[in-house]
């Protein structure tokens, strides 16, 4: 709250999103815009993850990289400028906010933070006023990383890069353990994991209140998984959303990591790619 009253207040981005529950008995698709309209942080602008932080689903995964011009236009519409800090939040899970954080950092914004714990962590009144911010000047530069640091120069992996990193470094699978083991697969064509990847559910990076564990606990966790401060580290998930949250957790722990954006949704769409099952990486 103190930052909002400063001389250079941050741009606030509301990125509420969750996996669609359409098709479940009695369930309706999650509507982030409706949630935003019902109440948001004062001054926050809504950003649509599916349309502005990703391209249409297809062979490159369920949430492939957005067109850089579409992404840039969305950020400028929201008032994002290179010289002004950005704070991103979502409904509390942190995955969508982390996706926005990662994209902004990967495209060169130098000062982006995530509200730890999301909207539930906000202790002041919400607003229903919809701001119309002045146009920002942010121009995305893909691969710039914004000082984020990464396992490779761009901080992003493709399928071949992920496969190579699983052999030469540490590739973390941020999905639930049962999906990694191939016991269930509710979304993608097949269950299992990229051969050589290590199971590291992103849900284990947060406490019961949804906030990140202390940095020292995260460092200990990742060290136990083989991801220390030395060597290359990469992360994937189902579609490059929860994996961004694990990249953020690694950053909190002081460990740079790259994100395989296509993730399992891209990997599993090609029947020619190998699939491992069971609790072991191989």
> Are the beta carbons of 47 and 124 closer than 8 angstroms?
no
3-state secondary structure of 113: strand
- Domain identity same for 12 and 133: yes
- Domain identity same for 70 and 169: no
pLDDT of res. 150: 38
pLDDT of res. 143: 84
pLDDT of res. 22: 43
- Domain identity same for 136 and 168: no
pLDDT of res. 144: 76
pLDDT of res. 6: 66
Phi and psi torsions of 44, nearest 5°: -75, 145
- Domain identity same for 6 and 143: yes
- Residue 238: is it exposed, middle or buried by C-beta count within 10 angstroms (0-12/13-18/19+)? buried
pLDDT of res. 176: 97
> Are the beta carbons of 105 and 146 closer than 8 angstroms?
yes
pLDDT of res. 145: 64
Among candidate residues 15, 115, 237, 258, the one labeled active-site is: 237
- Residue 98: is it exposed, middle or buried by C-beta count within 10 angstroms (0-12/13-18/19+)? buried
pLDDT of res. 30: 81
Which CATH number characterizes residue 64's domain? Answer: 3.40.250.10
- Tens place of pLDDT per residue across the chain (282 aa): 556 656 679 999 999 998 764 444 455 678 899 999 999 999 999 999 999 999 999 999 999 999 999 999 999 999 999 999 999 999 999 999 999 999 999 999 999 999 999 999 999 999 999 999 999 999 999 987 644 333 343 489 999 999 999 999 999 999 999 999 999 999 999 999 999 999 999 999 999 999 999 999 999 999 999 998 688 999 999 999 999 999 999 999 999 999 999 999 999 999 999 999 999 998
User: Which residues form the domain of 175?
Assistant: 156-267
> Are the beta carbons of 93 and 114 closer than 8 angstroms?
no
What is the tally of structural domains in the chain? 2
Is 168 a catalytic site residue? no
Closest CA to 160 of 250, 53, 273: 273
Where a domain ends, among 147, 169, 192?
A: 147
Q: Does residue 275 lie within any of the structural domains?
A: no
Which distant-in-sequence residues (6+ apart) come within 8 Å of 108 by Cβ? 82, 140, 141, 144, 145, 146
């Amino acid at each position: 709250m103190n930052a909002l009253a400063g001389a250079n207040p941050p741009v606030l981005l509301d990125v509420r999103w969750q996996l669609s529950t359409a098709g479940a008995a009695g369930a309706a698709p999650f509507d982030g815009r409706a949630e935003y309209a019902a109440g948001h942080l004062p001054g926050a602008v809504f950003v649509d993850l599916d349309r502005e932080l990703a391209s249409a689903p297809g062979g490159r995964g369920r949430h492939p990289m957005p067109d850089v011009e579409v992404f840039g236009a969305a950020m400028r519409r929201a008032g994002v400028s290179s010289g002004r800090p950005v704070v991103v939040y979502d409904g509390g899970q942190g995955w969508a906010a982390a996706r926005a954080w990662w994209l902004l950092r990967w495209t060169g914004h130098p000062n982006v933070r995530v509200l730890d714990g999301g909207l539930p962590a906000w202790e002041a009144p919400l607003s229903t006023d919809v701001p119309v911010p002045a146009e920002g000047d942010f121009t995305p530069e893909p691969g710039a990383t914004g000082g984020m640091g990464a396992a490779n120069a761009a901080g992003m992996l493709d399928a071949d890069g992920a496969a190579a990193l699983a052999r030469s470094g540490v590739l973390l699978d941020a999905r639930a353990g049962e999906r990694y083991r191939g016991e269930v697969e509710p979304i993608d064509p097949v269950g299992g994991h990229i051969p050589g990847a290590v199971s590291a559910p992103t849900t284990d990076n947060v406490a019961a209140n949804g906030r990140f564990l202390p940095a020292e606990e995260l460092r200990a966790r990742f060290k136990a998984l083989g991801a220390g401060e030395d060597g290359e580290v990469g992360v994937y998930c189902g579609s490059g959303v929860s994996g961004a949250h694990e990249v953020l957790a690694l950053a909190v722990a002081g460990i740079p990591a790259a994100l395989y954006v296509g993730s399992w949704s891209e990997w599993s769409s090609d029947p020619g790619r190998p699939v491992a099952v069971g609790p072991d990486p191989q």
